[in-house]
Chains A and B, each alone.
Chain A
Amino acid sequence: MIAALLLIAATATATATPTATATATASPKPQAYAAPPRRLVLWHSYRAAEEAGLLASIALFEQRHPDIKVELLAIPYDAFPSKLTAALPTDHGPDLFVFAHERAAGWARDGRLAPLAGDADLLGIEAMTIDGVVQGLPLALKSVALYHNRRLVPRPPATLAELAAIARANTRAGTYGLAYQFTDFYYHAAFLNGFGGALFEEPGHRPRLATPEAERALAFVRDLRGAMPEEPTSTLVAALFREGRAAMAINGPWFAGELGGVDYAVALLPAPLRPFLSVECVLVSRRARQPAAAASLASFLAGRESAVARAVEGRQVVATRSAYDDPRLRGDGFLMAFRAQAERAVLTDSSPQMAAVWEPQKRALVAVMSGVDPAEALAQAQRRAVAVSRPAPATRSAWPYAVAAALVAVAAVVALRRAPRRAERQPAGTVARAYAYVAPAAASLLVLVFVPFAFGVGLSFFHHAGGRFTFVGLQNFADILGSRDYRLSEPMSFWFTLAVTLLWTVVNVALHVGIGLALALLLRDPLLRFKGVYRVLLIVPWAVPNYITALLWKGMFHKQFGAVSHLLIALGIEPVGWFTHFSTAFAANVVTNTWLGFPFMMVVALGALQSIPHELYEAAQVDGASRWDQFVHVTLPLLKPSLLPAVILGSVWTFNMFNVIYLVSGGEPGGATDILVSEAYRWAFQRNEAYGFAAAYSTLIFLVLLGYSALTRRAAREMEPA
């Protein structure tokens, strides 16, 4: 016990030291001649040229204001929104940050942003003007436009008919007339807007996706199918355009950095196409420590001087009108084309209802491009959008639930006090020693796992909308279990997803254990040469970060360019669209996850095999047992105690394996390959921030797994020493 405590104390001090030095070096050095400068913290997720442009602007600001020191923190985009949501209500948040208006509007509604002084010089200022109050200053305008390879398409198309004609004329084996991410609604919006479609019905601002205009827009894109590469991703589009294998591309300013030496120009999208316009803003936190200094930095960043620097250095399509007086900007065809496109764009809706639209639209696009009729796909999308934007359930009194929870707690305590009677024959000293051994682990788990867990379970009784939580009792659970919006057999219903999740878990765990155990049996032979080399090579899939390998597998399953398709062609088999059928999409997920997961099971099995004494095999051989008999009667039974924990925990992890589903199949086709945890994730982060609903999903996941562990408890009991 004391040894354990000492160890913890030692590690605690060891962890504290580097942190202390880190803060010491990070804090600003006091200047000799003046009071210590005021410190501003700005968070962003810019990279490369845009980051350089921001740095140049900040340097200019610090020259003007020697009394202010700006600290920048660049955060990975994937973690940025959730970090802001967590940090903005606390003292750890930034003074300022940069984000696109669609998402920033949510923080404005939650009351996290400080009001700022407007500026008529700024394009798109209306994007962050909410109820007449300016809550963010536009820095840059982001929309897509038309890139064309000047050698293949000297004159860009001016009409939709020309676009289609040029695209078809430039399509031949391995070369495409047009490449863009047509399954991403962000890109498709240009067509929807161009055909006069809208997303919401007014008044009420409720999603209305199944409109004749939307149908025509989908039909137009579908008819271009032959002239475009299938399953387009941003990297595929970039690769094709860079290699001259795509004559035109629809993409944003960020695309230019990937094009190498190809001779291209940017033009307006042909009329009447009108893309979405996203306005990137600088925002000041309501909890900024230096509100005045933060506001002055914000207006400096949005001002002319900084805008010119950001445009010249950062290649940003800046939102400051007067910056375009500068000859360097006026003479820049690239920036001027995007600026002109921004004027012919539709400001992306930033209402909370918008969150309900993205996913249904994406699913409809994927479906139409794989042959579903547009009207049918849109009708399905409409149902999804309605289901996602579910109205707030009636608020309930929390008292009956509190009383029930208290009763359950009392019952649990009573049960716990009564249950262990049979164990009390142990001498008192042993029990005390056992508690001492368990205490450190129990204490840390109690604080860092059970507290957040209780919070999560509690959340599932609430409805979240616009930053406010209302108590709704069991309504979230009732809606999920009753499959309020879908028939039970539909992919979006809880029960369908549960069935897929169970199938997913069983198949994966069987493959993990089967392959892992087989390899461990082969690689345990002490006389086998190069054993160590094989072992190290085989854990590589576990070692490489799975973000990149999962996406690689997705790339290998690409219908036209993937390695798997190439292999099938070499074998004389017609390649398939892996993500258009449930069975193939599911198989792609399973292959990826098996590849990722077998090394862990192999390592565990290698460890577990060491617990079997050699003498038992010798004895079995003397008895004339075959190798198979030895495996069944010696290896398996003796392996069980140390392998079973890994199998049980492995199934729990696989049940909640979010990354592979999300990155490989993305739930396609139509959400059929989604598992419960990816569904929970979508509710929390992609559908209206339905945190309560997502928590209810998570609680159900927990209950299902708890039921599973009860089933395995019998097996667990068998592991107990006699």
Chain B
Amino acid sequence: MRTPLLHAALVVFCLATLYPVLWVVGMAISPGQGFAQGLWPLPAHPTLDNFSALLGRGLFWRQLANSLLVAALTTGVGLALSVTAAYAMSRWSFPGRRAGLTALLATQMFPATMMSLPLYALLDRLWLLDTLSGLVLVYATTAVPFCVWMLKGYFDTIPKELEEAALLDGASPGQIFLRVVLPLARPALAVTALFSFMTAWNEFILAATFLDGASRFTLPVALQRLVGEYRTEWGLFAAGALIVSAPVMAVFFALQRHLVGGLTAGGVKG
């Protein structure tokens, strides 16, 4: 009896949430480059011209590949950096641990708008300007503080007894971390992976500032090119925004199966 009601509520909520996105769809499949008005977002004569115009651009696939590479590497590097740090902060007490946690939080507090100039000078000195690796490092370090906090919080909930049991079975600390703790932390890993991916995926200001070649640009930079000083090509921009969103949803769809089923306490009891 409750389930139909629940579905009805969820459907209504989804529709309300998707209504603004319907506008993006409407703009993307409109023939013009305008910004629609009114209550009903979809055009009378839909067309896929904006999509084919975008996909037909010489560098589109190259820039999509750049974006995917940067986002994937950011996810990998970001997770590698944070998983180890978060585990250490959750399991062992060592001098500077608490200060480190606070410092991580503090990194998020200084507005990013003031950071791009010094970062540029820094990357210049590190020979990382105009490279995708430099961009990946910047994105990954941006994502690390949240990932460490999130993962540490989750590691804290994993019973230590499991690790102690593994230790008695003769596992090394490295094995315990890789074989026992990480599999149990899958939900948190999924969340942080998605977060790291998103940190890199939609960013354009830093990418446009640090990269000096159209063949190295990421897709959001190419997309932002459609926004001019005086006018914006909204149809193309909307089509591009939808194209950019698709991989995010695919990534989330792939990750969300790790958000099912709880941790079982049986391992401790039994």
Contact = CB atoms under 8 A, between A and B. Distances in A.
A611 B151 CA distance: 12
19 contacts: A7-B80, A73-B214, A77-B229, A92-B124, A235-B234, A238-B34, A254-B230, A438-B89, A449-B107, A452-B115, A536-B256, A613-B265, A641-B157, A648-B149, A652-B105, A653-B108, A656-B109, A656-B111, A721-B156
Nearest to B123: A448
A521 to B, nearest CB: 11
Given A455-B118, A528-B6, A570-B39, 12 more contacts: A19-B131, A73-B214, A82-B116, A233-B35, A242-B34, A437-B88, A441-B85, A442-B85, A452-B118, A545-B241, A563-B41, A606-B191
B60 interface: no
A685 B205 CA distance: 14
A18 B94 contact: no
Given A536-B249, A611-B157, A426 B115 contact: no
A442 B99 CA distance: 12
Interface string B129-146: 111110011101110111
Contact of B84 (A238, A438, A563, A701): A438
A452 B112 CA distance: 10
B248 to A, nearest CB: 4
A405 interface: no
B214 A452 contact: no
Interface string B11-53: 0011001111101100000001111111101000000000000
Interface stretch (A188-196, A213-221, A475-483, A547-555): A547-555
Contacts of B102: 709, 713
A504 B87 CA distance: 34
Nearest to B216: A22
Given A239-B37, A258-B33, A607 B191 contact: yes
B115 A456 contact: yes
A353 interface: no
Interface string A6-20: 011001101110110
A11 B72 CA distance: 10
Contact of A431 (B92, B214, B253): B92
A624 interface: no
Interface string B66-91: 10010001001100111011011111
Given A86-B209, A702-B109, A532 B256 contact: yes
B96 to A, nearest CB: 7
Contacts of B94: 420, 423, 426, 430-431, 434-435
B111 A701 contact: yes
A82 B116 CA distance: 9
Contacts of B92: 426, 430-431, 433-434
Interface of B: 3, 6-7, 9-10, 13-14, 17-21, 23-24, 32-39, 41, 66, 69, 73, 76-77, 80-82, 84-85, 87-97, 99-122, 124, 126, 129-133, 136-138, 140-142, 144-146, 148-150, 152-154, 156-158, 160, 173-174, 178, 187-188, 190-191, 194-195, 198, 202, 204-205, 208-209, 212-216, 220-221, 223-234, 237-238, 241-242, 244-245, 248-249, 252-253, 256-257, 259-266
Contacts of A643: 153
A456 B110 contact: yes
A282 B123 CA distance: 28
Contacts of B132: 15, 18-19, 22
Contacts of A614: 262, 264-265
Contacts of B149: 645-646, 648-649
Nearest to A699: B110
Contacts of B95: 416, 419-420, 423-424, 431
Contact of B81 (A441, A519, A677, A716): A441
B252 A536 contact: yes
A407 interface: no
Given A79-B209, A558-B37, A719 B110 contact: no
Given A548-B24, A616-B265, A11 B80 contact: yes
Given A254-B231, A563-B39, A614-B264, A532 B253 contact: yes
Contacts of B91: 434
Nearest to B226: A47
A207 to B, nearest CB: 24
B146 to A, nearest CB: 5
B262 A702 contact: no
B39 A567 contact: yes
A545 B144 contact: no
Contact of B205 (A25, A78, A615, A646): A78
Interface string A589-624: 000000100001001101111111111100000000
Nearest to A443: B81
A539 interface: yes
3 closest A-B pairs by beta carbon, nearest first, are A15-B133, A420-B95, A645-B149
Given A22-B216, A444-B137, A698 B110 contact: yes
A551 B35 CA distance: 10
A242 B118 CA distance: 45
Summarize A's interface: helix, strand, loop or mixed: helix
Contacts of A242: 32, 34
Contact of A257 (B150, B205, B212, B231): B231
Contacts of B85: 437-438, 440-442
Contacts of B154: 607-608, 611, 641-642
B37 A555 contact: yes
Contacts of A604: 150, 191
Contacts of A73: 212-214
A448 B264 contact: no
A453 interface: yes
A645 B150 contact: yes
Given A79-B205, A234-B231, A433-B92, A260 B37 contact: no
B225 A74 contact: yes
Nearest to A47: B228
Contacts of A709: 102, 105-106, 109
A695 B114 contact: yes
Query: Which of B112, B126, B241, B263 has the most C-beta atoms of chain A within 10 angstroms of its own C-beta?
Result: B241
A609 B252 contact: no
Contacts of B19: 563
Contacts of B77: 8, 11
Contacts of B89: 438
B187 A607 contact: yes
Contact of A3 (B87, B99, B156, B174): B174
B99 to A, nearest CB: 6
Given A420-B95, A543-B249, A646-B150, A694 B265 contact: no
A402 interface: no
Contact of A546 (B101, B105, B202, B227): B202
A429 to B, nearest CB: 9
Contacts of A608: 153-154, 187-188
A541 B129 CA distance: 32
B24 A552 contact: yes
Nearest to B250: A536
Given A235-B35, A438-B88, A426 B93 contact: yes
B208 A75 contact: yes
A720 B92 CA distance: 11
Nearest to A603: B191
A642 B188 contact: yes
Contacts of B35: 233, 235-236, 239, 551, 555
B88 to A, nearest CB: 4
A451 B122 contact: yes
Nearest to B147: A441
Interface in A569-599: 570, 595
Given A440-B81, A552-B20, A607 B188 contact: yes
Interface string A695-722: 1001101100110010001001001110
Given A445-B107, A544-B241, A641 B224 contact: no
Given A438-B88, A555-B37, A702-B109, A453 B115 contact: yes
Contact of A542 (B18, B121, B198): B198
